[in-house]
Chain A
Amino acid sequence: MSRATIQVALPAHLRTLARLDHGDVTVEVEGRVTQRSVLDALEARYPMLCGTIRDHTTQERRPFVRFFACEQDLSHDSPDALLPEAVASGKEPFFVIGAIAGG
Chain B
Amino acid sequence: MSKVRVLVGTRKGAFILTADGKREKWDVSGPFFAGWPVYHLKGSPVDPNRIFASQTSDWFGQVIQRSDDGGKTWIQPGTPPGESTTAPDGSPKGESNKFVYDTSGPTGKPLTTHQWYDGTQHPWEFKRVWHLEPSLKDPDTVYAGIEDAALFRSSDGGKSWQELSGLRGHGTGPKWQPGAGGLCLHSIVLDPSNPQRIFIAISAAGAFRTDDGGKTWKPINQGLRSQYIPDPKAEIGHCVHHIAMHASKPGVLFMQKHWDVMRTNNAGDVWTEVSGNLPTDFGFVIDIHTHEPETIYVVPIKSDGEHFPLDGKLRVYRSRTGGNEWEELSKGLPERNCYVNVLRDAMAVDSLDSCGVYFGTTGGQVYSSANAGDSWAPIVRDLPAVLSVEVQTLP
Binding site for B on A (CB under 8 A): 11, 13-14, 16-17, 43-44, 47-53, 55-57, 62, 64-65, 98-99, 101-102
Contact = CB atoms under 8 A, between A and B. Distances in A.
B79 A13 contact: no
Contacts of A14: 60
B35 A13 contact: yes
19 contacts: A11-B59, A13-B59, A14-B60, A17-B63, A17-B76, A44-B91, A47-B79, A47-B91, A47-B92, A48-B76, A50-B98, A51-B61, A52-B63, A53-B60, A56-B97, A56-B100, A57-B98, A62-B61, A101-B58
A4 B353 CA distance: 64
Contacts of B36: 13
Interface in B39-59: 57-59
Contacts of A102: 58
A14 B98 CA distance: 17
A3 B62 CA distance: 32
B95 interface: yes
A52 B60 contact: yes
Given A13-B35, A48-B79, A62 B94 contact: no
B351 to A, nearest CB: 34
Contact of B60 (A13, A44, A47, A57): A13
Given A48-B76, A57-B98, 8 more contacts: A47-B92, A48-B63, A49-B94, A50-B93, A53-B60, A62-B59, A98-B60, A101-B58
Nearest to A19: B80
Contacts of A64: 58-59
B353 to A, nearest CB: 41
Interface of B: 34-36, 57-63, 76, 78-79, 91-95, 97-98, 100
A75 B387 CA distance: 33
Contacts of B62: 51
Contacts of B92: 47
Main secondary structure of the interface of A (DSSP, over half): loop
A43 B59 CA distance: 17
Nearest to B80: A48
Contacts of A101: 58
Contacts of A44: 91
Nearest to B98: A56
B148 to A, nearest CB: 15
Contact of A98 (B59, B63, B76, B78): B59
Contacts of B76: 17, 48
B53 to A, nearest CB: 13
B95 A50 contact: yes
A56 B97 CA distance: 9
A14 B36 CA distance: 11
A68 B118 CA distance: 37
B127 to A, nearest CB: 12
A55 B100 CA distance: 10
B58 A65 contact: no
Most buried by A among B35, B59, B76, B93: B59
A57 B59 contact: no
Contacts of A48: 63, 76, 79, 94
